Each structure stands twice: as structure tokens, then as C-alpha cells.
């Protein structure tokens, strides 16, 4: 593997900055695009005609980004090497009528997005981020990155059973954050957000806003061998894929037998069924248009897809020392043990034996250790964009990721070495 593609602990430092800059899917794709621009990529509009020129290109749509690098002289039927990930994380989302409250408290009405661990959002200082939509059809990113909201927990004196019978949270009644005192005023929150964004509140006609923890990521442990932070599921993979694609695009074109691609989708946490989700047409449309822009026909498209492989990169479960019985008795992924290969014979993960071989070869090329994850047979298995990608596009897909603890918490935990080990494996895979 080229020394220019090696990442070290500095990659993990950079991941921390990426997490802080990306409190929403819209910020995540903007941050990724900014980094790709510095690597020479340019944005192409979906509504414009595409040409067959070589180089790095990317498409933005809402909270999704697809980026690819076409080597000089690539044929129309050249296969792709794709890293897939997702930009969304389980959290709280602001409702269309956000202003609420009671008994002198001003609150913000929220919905629960995805399978979040509700208790991890209690008594945590929260900012507010996302995007607002303006009357002229444009969007504006918003990031109020200071303590603004809080979901207060009930004192133990008023719920003596919380430590014995377990904390019971009603998703509707107990998760509405407070943000001030006084009478509830309709339109108050959006007026405040508009002022923070520097726009007229009358011009704001829509919003996609979400609270986020303002506590920054941090190294943890006696030897700083762990990393704690928000939204690792799955911005850790988005960051690694962005870095890997930018590094591979810096190689001589003659060394790239494939067209490397990074596809980061929104809405994975609630099923991927949207125009920016993996179950939508975005990836297939981009890949097809790239084939046709290079003068290809349907036969070239079929040949390219037949030779394409996708690594679906998402976080997985590290062995939990306090709940070891919940894991498979013979598969114990460890943090800092390298990326994991995720296997489920019922196709909750898309990995098969051939995919295992592809991943093993990439890790060997990158000199990166790797591990295998399977679920305990008595536990239902989660899923990813992997099976969706394989079924929708007919592309060989392999599910991988980084083993973490506290998945779907407002603050997750991984090994501090694993992010750059993943990035090295992804770069080796993309480079072919």
C-alpha cells in the first residue's frame, strides 16, 4: 500500500473535529464536501448535463452525498469500488409546531428519530442544529452549538423505583426539552433560530432541526486508548470514507483499476426509504449517469455493475464486559482490534464468503487486523444499508464497520485506534 495512504492517530484527532462540525446529516455532507473540494473534487448538479471528464466529482442531495473519482482513460464499463455509510444518527427532531410548555416552563416539542437510547438524552446540555428552508427555495444550515435545551430527569425522590424497577420513559410525555421560562408563544423558537441564522423569520417556511449534545468528543482511559463522542454511528464511517476517497484520488491514475466511490445516505436509522436513503434511486442514478457520460450504453452499465463491490461500513457491537451473555459465545469483537466483518446468514448483513475474501484482501494489503461479528442466535440481529444496496442494485456487498459500545446512545464509545485502522482498510479497498 502506498505510504501516502497511511493514516495514524492524527486521523482520530481529525474525526473528533469532524464530529463537532457535523451535528446534523446536512452538516455532515457539507463537511465531507468541503474536504473533498480541498482534494480537487467538484460538485455536479443533478439537474445539469454531465460530461465524461476524468477527476473527482460529487453530488449533494439533502443529507446525502455520493462522490466518485474517474481515472484518466477509464472505460465506460470500468467497475466501481464503493464504500457506503449513513449520515443520520438516532436523536430528537423538532416538530412542525415546536412551541409548547406548561407551568411556566417553555419547552420544544420533539419527535423521537430512530432507535435512540432515550435515557442518554436526559440531563444533557443540548444545542440545536439542522437546516431551515427559505421562501426562495434555498436552505440555510444552522448550528447553535451552546447549551440551549435540556430534558430534565425526574428526581429520585419522586420516583423511588427508578433504581430498582428500571427507569420508564414515555416517549411523548417525558422527552420534551425545556429551553426557558415564561408563557408559550407561537413561532418563538423559529424566530430565535432565524435570528441566529441571520435571516428574517418571515422568510422561513420549513425546517429540519434537531438537538445535539454540545459536549465535545474526548479521549478516555488510563492511556487514552478509548474515544467517547456523539454520532459515531455512523459519522465515524463517513469520515473514514471521505478521507480514504480523497487519499486514493491522489494516487497516479494508472494505479486505479476501479472507479472509487463514497456514498453516504440519510435515513438509515428509520429504514432508508427516502429520496436520500439507500433504498432510494440516488446511488444507482449516479453510477448509471457516470457510465453514460463516458459514452457507455446499457451493456456497459451491466458490465460495470457486475464487477462492482460495495463495502457497507457501519458500527457494530464490541463485546460488553457487563453483558457478555448477550453476545455470541465464540465471537467477541474487541475495541482497537481492527474493523469487523459483519455476518448474518439470514441476510440482515449482506456478507458472504466471496465478500469475506475481498475484505480480507484489503485488510492484508493495508496491514490492518480485522475481526468477525455475528449475533447471538437468541437475539434479533440489526441490519444496515448493505442488504438494501445488494438487492436494489445487484451489487456484491460486504458489511463491515468498527466495534463500539453504547450504540445509539447520545454519546458512544470506540477504540481510539479503530477509526484510522478502518480508514486504512477502506483506502486499500478503494484503490483495488
C-alpha 249 chain-centroid distance: 21
| Res 163: pLDDT | 86
| Res 7: pLDDT | 84
| Res 164: pLDDT | 83
The mean of the pLDDT values for the chain is 96
Distance CA 94, CA 103 (A): 21
Distance CA 132, CA 325 (A): 45
| Res 165: pLDDT | 86
Distance CA 232, CA 312 (A): 15
pLDDT in tens, 103-145: 999 999 999 999 999 999 999 999 999 999 999 999 999 999 9
| Residue 3's pLDDT band (cuts 50, 70, 90) | very low
Distance CA 228, CA 205 (A): 36
| Res 176: pLDDT | 98
| Residue 406's pLDDT band (cuts 50, 70, 90) | very high
Q: What is the dihedral of CA 46, 282, 17, 147, to 10 degrees?
A: 90
Of 418, 121, 225, residue with least CA distance to 110: 121
| 1-5, 53-57, 253-257, 258-262: least confidently modelled range | 1-5
| Res 191: pLDDT | 97
Range 306-317 average pLDDT: 98
Q: Is the pLDDT of residue 298 over 60?
A: yes
Q: Cis link prior to 14 (omega < 30° from 0)?
A: no
- Report if pTM > 0.75: yes
pLDDT in tens, 61-113: 999 999 999 999 999 999 999 999 999 999 999 999 999 999 999 999 999 99
Q: Is the pLDDT of residue 277 over 60?
A: yes
One-letter-per-residue 3-state SS of the chain: CCHHHCCCHHHHHHHHHHHHHCCCHHHHHHHHHHHHHHCCCEECCCCCCCCCCCEEEEEEECCEEEEEEECCCCCCCCCEEEEEEECCCCEEEEEEEEEEEECCEEEEEEEEECCCCHHHHECCCEEEEEEEEECCCCEEEEEEEEEEEEECCCCHHHCCCCCCCCCCCCCCCCCCCEEEECCCCCCHHHHHHHHHHCCCHHHEEEEEEEEEECCCCEEECCCCCEEEECCHHHHHHHHHHHHHHHHHHCCCHHHCCCEEEEEEECCHHHCCCCCCCCCCCHHHHHHHHHHHHCCCCHHHHHHHHHCCEEEEECCEECCCCCCHHHECCCCCCCCCCCCEEECCCCCCCCCCHHHHHHHHHHHHHHCCCCEEECECCCCCCCCCHHHHHHHHHCCEEEEEECEEECCCCCCEEEECCHHHHHHHHHHHHHHC
Distance CA 83, CA 204 (A): 36
| Residue 161's pLDDT band (cuts 50, 70, 90) | confident
Of 257, 297, 293, 178, residue with least CA distance to 431: 257
Buried b (16+ CB within 10 A) or exposed e, 267-297: bbbeebebebbbbbebbbebbbbbbbbbebe
| Res 74: pLDDT | 96
Q: Is the pLDDT of residue 258 over 50?
A: yes
Range 407-422 average pLDDT: 98
Buried b (16+ CB within 10 A) or exposed e, 195-222: eebebeeeebeebbbbbbbbeebebeee
Range 194-204 average pLDDT: 96
Range 391-400 average pLDDT: 97
For 256, the grid coordinates are 486505479
| Res 14: pLDDT | 98
Amino acid at each position: 500500500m502506498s505510504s501516502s495512504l497511511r493514516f495514524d492517530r492524527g486521523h482520530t484527532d481529525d474525526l473528533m473535529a469532524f464530529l463537532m462540525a457535523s451535528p446534523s446529516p446536512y452538516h455532515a455532507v457539507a463537511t465531507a464536501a468541503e474536504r473533498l473540494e480541498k482534494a480537487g473534487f467538484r460538485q455536479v448538479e443533478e439537474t445539469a448535463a454531465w460530461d465524461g471528464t476524468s477527476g473527482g466529482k460529487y453530488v449533494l442531495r439533502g443529507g446525502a452525498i455520493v462522490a466518485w473519482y474517474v481515472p484518466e482513460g477509464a472505460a465506460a464499463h470500468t467497475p466501481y469500488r464503493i464504500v457506503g455509510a449513513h449520515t443520520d444518527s438516532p436523536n430528537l427532531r423538532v416538530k412542525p409546531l415546536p412551541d409548547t410548555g406548561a407551568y411556566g416552563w417553555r419547552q420544544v416539542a420533539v419527535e423521537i428519530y430512530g432507535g435512540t437510547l432515550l435515557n442518554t438524552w436526559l440531563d444533557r446540555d443540548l444545542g440545536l442544529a439542522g437546516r431551515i428552508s427559505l421562501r426562495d427555495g434555498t436552505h440555510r444550515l444552522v448550528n447553535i452549538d451552546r447549551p440551549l435545551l435540556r430534558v430534565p430527569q425526574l428526581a429520585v425522590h419522586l420516583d423511588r423505583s427508578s433504581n430498582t424497577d428500571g427507569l420508564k420513559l414515555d416517549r411523548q410525555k417525558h422527552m420534551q426539552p425545556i429551553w426557558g421560562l415564561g408563557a408559550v408563544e407561537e413561532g418563538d423558537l423559529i424566530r430565535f433560530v432565524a435570528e441566529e441564522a441571520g435571516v428574517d423569520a418571515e422568510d422561513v417556511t420549513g425546517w429540519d432541526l434537531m438537538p445535539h449534545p454540545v459536549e465535545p468528543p474526548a479521549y478516555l482511559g488510563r492511556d487514552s486508548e478509548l474515544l467517547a463522542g456523539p454520532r459515531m454511528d455512523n459519522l465515524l464511517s463517513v469520515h473514514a470514507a471521505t478521507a480514504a476517497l480523497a487519499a486514493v484520488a491522489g494516487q497516479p491514475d494508472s494505479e486505479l483499476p476501479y472507479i472509487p466511490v463514497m456514498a453516504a445516505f440519510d435515513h438509515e436509522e428509520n429504514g432508508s426509504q427516502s429520496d436520500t436513503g439507500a433504498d432510494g434511486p440516488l446511488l444507482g442514478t449516479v453510477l448509471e449517469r457516470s457510465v453514460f457520460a463516458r459514452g457507455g450504453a446499457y451493456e456497459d452499465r451491466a458490465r460495470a455493475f457486475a464487477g462492482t463491490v460495495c463495502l457497507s461500513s457501519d458500527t457494530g457491537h464490541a463485546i460488553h464486559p457487563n453483558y457478555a451473555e448477550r453476545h455470541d459465545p465464540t465471537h467477541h469483537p474487541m475495541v482497537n482490534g481492527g474493523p469487523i466483518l459483519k455476518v448474518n446468514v439470514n441476510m440482515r448483513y449482506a456478507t458472504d464468503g466471496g465478500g469475506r475474501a475481498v475484505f480480507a484482501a484489503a485488510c492484508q494489503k493495508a496491514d490492518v487486523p480485522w475481526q468477525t461479528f455475528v449475533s447471538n442466535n437468541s437475539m434479533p440481529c440489526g441490519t444496515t444499508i448493505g442488504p438494501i444496496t445488494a438487492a436494489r442494485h445487484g451489487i456484491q456487498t460486504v458489511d463491515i464497520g468498527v466495534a463500539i459500545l453504547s450504540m445509539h446512545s447520545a454519546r458512544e464509545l470506540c477504540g481510539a485506534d479503530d477509526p484510522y485502522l478502518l480508514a486504512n482498510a477502506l483506502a486499500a479497498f478503494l484503490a483495488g
